[in-house]
Amino acid sequence: MKPSQLLLALVSATGLCLAGAAPAQTMNKEARDLAYKNAASQYKMDKAACDSLSKNAKDICIEEAKGKEKVAKADADATYEGTPKAREAARDARADAAYEVAKEKCDDLSGNAKDVCVKEAKAAQTRAKADAKVDRVATDTRNSSSEKTAEARRDATEEKRDADYKVAIEKCDTLSGAPKDACVRDAKMRYGKS
pLDDT at position 47: 94
CA torsion, ordered 27, 31, 34, 36, to nearest 10 deg: 20
**Model confidence pLDDT, tens digit, residues 38-82:** 999 999 999 999 999 999 999 999 999 999 999 999 999 999 988
Asked whether the predicted pLDDT for residue 120 surpasses 50, the reply is yes
Rounded to an integer, what distance in angstroms lies between the CA atom of residue 118 and that of residue 133?
Answer: 23
Q: How many CA atoms lie within 13 A of 149 on its CB side?
A: 12
Asked whether the predicted pLDDT for residue 1 surpasses 50, the reply is no
Are the CB atoms for 118 and 64 separated by under 8 Å? Answer: no
pLDDT at position 142: 60
pLDDT at position 101: 95
State the pLDDT confidence band at 2, using cuts at 50, 70 and 90: low
pLDDT at position 148: 80
| Average pLDDT for 153-160 | 88
Per-residue exposure over 123-156, b if at least 16 CB sit within 10 Å of its own CB, e if not: bbbbbbbbbbbbbbbbbbeeeeeeeebeebbeeb
Rounded to an integer, what distance in angstroms lies between the CA atom of residue 30 and that of residue 24?
Answer: 17
With CA atoms as reference, report the closest residue to 101 among 11, 165, 27, 183: 11
Mean confidence (pLDDT) of the chain: 84
pTM: 0.75
Per DSSP, helices labelled H in the chain are: 3-18, 29-50, 55-81, 84-106, 111-139, 146-172, 177-190
Q: What CA–CA distances, in Å, run from 115 to 11, 107, 162?
A: 20, 10, 16
- Please give the tally of structural domains in the chain: 1
Rounded to an integer, what distance in angstroms lies between the CA atom of residue 170 and that of residue 112?
Answer: 8
pLDDT-wise least confident of 18-22, 135-139, 162-166 = 18-22
Range(s) of the domain holding residue 73: 3-190
Are the CB atoms for 78 and 111 separated by under 8 Å? Answer: no
If one compares 12 and 120, the residue with the highest pLDDT of the two is 120
State the pLDDT confidence band at 25, using cuts at 50, 70 and 90: low
Asked whether the predicted pLDDT for residue 171 surpasses 80, the reply is yes
Are the CB atoms for 161 and 191 separated by under 8 Å? Answer: yes
Other Cβ atoms less than 10 A from the Cβ of 38: the count is 14
Other Cβ atoms less than 10 A from the Cβ of 83: the count is 19
